[in-house]
């Protein structure tokens, strides 16, 4: 195949994570990603399978990265290869997650004493250190700078991009009849620039139906609500319709 005019082939598997397999390619600058149907929750304490999850997450991430790229957000996405595979730029990942919250849900409800569904007056941005053994603890800018996880410029770039992503995503999902409750973003460095990486999917976002409040994301798996596969498929269907009307 070709990516950005460069021919490459799939090589050995470099890494297998909770949701994806990562392969080297004949071009050192790129990875070959394969999305899986495996599902985990609560730091791996709950495990299962969501049929066709890998297909939905792969295709949805590709659509959303293209949408964001078309609106000025640089991402790692290069090319969709198949239902489960895509090519991405090989980023030097920053070991931090940014969680953007528009509505109180999940752990935030417990921390601030507000019921799920409380609409925040402005988006909340949270930093988490990516470390499975530590449970991905919440940290702040001072921790990130003191421990060398990111530079001041990188933190500023990540937060600026997250704010822009939030504006673009909320507008898009509103067209789909979905409330973008919260979501996580991961970033890495490519040729000195901070780019958006990882994925954007029902695994990494909370999506609620705007009319009914029905959960259409991984919380259906976490909370044993049932109809998980149907919820993922419905979100993907609505996204495609919304993008057709952008």
The answer for residues whose C-beta is within 8 angstroms of residue 3's C-beta and 6 or more apart is: 27, 30, 78, 79, 87
Q: At what angle do helices 228-244 and 53-70 cross, to 10 degrees?
A: 30
Q: How many CB atoms are located within 10 Å of the residue 192 CB?
A: 6
Query: Using CA atoms, how far apart are residues 166 and 119, in angstroms rounded to an integer?
Result: 15
Same domain membership, residue 84 and residue 111: no
Query: Are residues 138 and 201 part of one domain?
Result: yes
Range of the domain at 96: 92-244
Helices 228-244 & 152-175 angle (0-180, nearest 10): 90
Whether 100 and 83 share a structural domain: no
- pLDDT on residue 1: 38
| Same domain assignment for residues 63 and 159 | no
Burial class of residue 92, CB neighbours in 10 A (0-12, 13-18, 19+) = exposed
Tens digits of pLDDT across the chain (246 residues): 345 556 789 999 999 999 999 999 999 999 999 999 999 887 778 899 999 999 999 999 999 999 999 999 999 999 999 999 999 999 999 999 999 999 999 999 999 999 999 999 999 999 999 998 999 999 999 999 999 999 999 999 999 999 999 999 999 999 999 999 999 999 999 999 999 999 999 999 999 999 999 999 999 999 999 999 999 999 999 999 999 988
Q: Which of 36, 62, 89 is the last residue of a domain?
A: 89
Q: Of 68, 89, 110, at which residue does a domain stop?
A: 89
Burial 6-37 (b: 16+ CB within 10 A, else e): eebebeeeeeeeebbbebbbebeebbbbbbbb
How many folded domains does the chain comprise?
2
| pLDDT value, residue 197 | 98
Tokens of 170: 């909320």
Q: Of 30, 57, 89, at which residue does a domain stop?
A: 89
pLDDT at 2: 40
Residues 229 and 149 in one domain: yes
Q: CA 190 to CA 197: how far, in whole Å?
A: 10
Q: What is the CATH number of the domain that holds 223?
A: 3.30.470.20
Q: Which residues pair with 124 in a beta bridge?
A: 101
In this structure, the answer to whether residues 142 and 193 fall within a common structural domain is yes
């Amino acid at each position: 195949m070709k990516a950005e005019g460069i021919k490459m082939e799939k090589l050995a598997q470099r890494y297998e994570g909770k949701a994806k397999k990562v392969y080297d390619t004949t071009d050192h600058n790129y990875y070959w990603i394969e999305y899986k149907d495996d599902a985990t929750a609560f730091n791996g304490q709950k495990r299962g399978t969501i049929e066709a999850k890998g297909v939905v997450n792969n295709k949805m991430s590709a659509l959303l990265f293209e949408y964001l790229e078309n609106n000025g957000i640089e991402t790692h996405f290069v090319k969709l290869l198949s239902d489960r595979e895509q090519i991405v730029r090989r980023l030097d990942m920053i070991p931090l997650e940014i969680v953007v919250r528009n509505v109180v849900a999940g752990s935030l409800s417990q921390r601030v004493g507000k019921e799920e569904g409380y609409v925040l007056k402005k988006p909340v941005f949270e930093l988490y250190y990516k470390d499975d053994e530590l449970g991905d603890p919440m940290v702040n800018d001072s921790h990130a700078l003191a421990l060398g996880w990111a530079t001041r410029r990188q933190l500023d770039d990540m937060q600026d991009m997250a704010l822009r992503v939030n504006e673009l995503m909320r507008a898009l999902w509103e067209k789909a009849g979905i409330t973008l409750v919260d979501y996580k973003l991961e970033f890495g460095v490519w040729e000195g620039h901070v780019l958006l990486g990882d994925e954007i999917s029902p695994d990494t976002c909370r999506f609620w139906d705007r009319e009914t409040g029905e959960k259409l994301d991984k919380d259906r798996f976490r909370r044993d609500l049932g109809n998980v596969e149907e919820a993922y498929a419905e979100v993907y269907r609505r996204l495609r319709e919304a993008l057709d009307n952008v």
